[in-house]
Amino acid sequence: MKNSLQSQKGIGLIEILVGLSIISIVFLSFLVLAQYSLRAQEYSKSKIEAINLASEVIEANQSVRDENWNTLAALSLETQYYPVISGIKWTLTTTDPGLINGIYNRWVILERVYRDANDDINSSGIEDIQTRKATAFVEWNDHGQIKQINLITYLTNWHNE
């Protein structure tokens, strides 16, 4: 009987060690999951802010177009332009104003638009000088990785200036 009690005491200690190991593994798993969740939430926040900044770039281009189509049409194509507020209105400049909120860089590139025989936008055809393709880019550094989003719109000379 004495032999039986001594072996049970050893088993109890092993059970405690196994139980503590299982609890430690579960706790560490929750910590890893929480860290992943926080990183995903941070990335989602950054991406939403980047989308809002890209939308603002599109709005700035629309503002420049509405002010005077010829100003927009005179800009060089395939060139990076940065939207900045000058006085009380948006302008497009080739001078990089620096990072926004210390994180984001944004710009727009204007391109020619071509139309086919059905007057649909196409990659080839006749150039439509009354329309420009505007691609807004926003770029930021996310934990050592460069992330980028872009939004595309078409700007037309709806005033027919």
Whether the CB-CB separation of 106 and 82 falls below 8 Å is answered with: yes
Look up tokens 């807004």; give the residue.
Answer: 136
Strand extents, DSSP E, 37-123:
80-86, 89-93, 105-111, 114-115, 121-122
* 94-118 pLDDT, tens digit each: 999 999 999 999 999 999 999 999 9
The residues facing 140 across adjacent strands are 147
In a domain, 102, yes or no: yes
Residue 72 belongs to domain spanning: 2-156
3-state secondary structure of 54: helix
Q: How many alpha carbons lie under 13 Å from residue 8 in its C-beta half-sphere?
A: 5
Task: Assign 8 a pLDDT band (cuts: 50, 70, 90).
Answer: low
Give residues with Cβ within 8 angstroms of 123, minimum separation 6: 114
pLDDT tens-digit profile of 81-97?
999 999 999 999 999 99
pTM (predicted TM-score): 0.79
Q: What is d(CA 103, CA 114) in angstroms, rounded to the nearest whole number? A: 36
Taking the alpha carbons at both ends of the chain, their separation in whole angstroms is 106
Structural domain count of the chain = 1
According to DSSP H, which parts of 68-109 are helical? 69-73
CB 100 within 8 A of CB 53: yes
Residue 7 lies in a domain: yes
Dist. CA 76–CA 60, nearest whole Å? 17
Question: What is the per-residue pLDDT for 125?
Answer: 92
Amino acid in the structure at residue 73:
A
DSSP state of 157: -
pLDDT in tens, 117-152: 999 999 989 999 999 999 999 999 998 999 999 999
Residue 161 covered by a domain: no
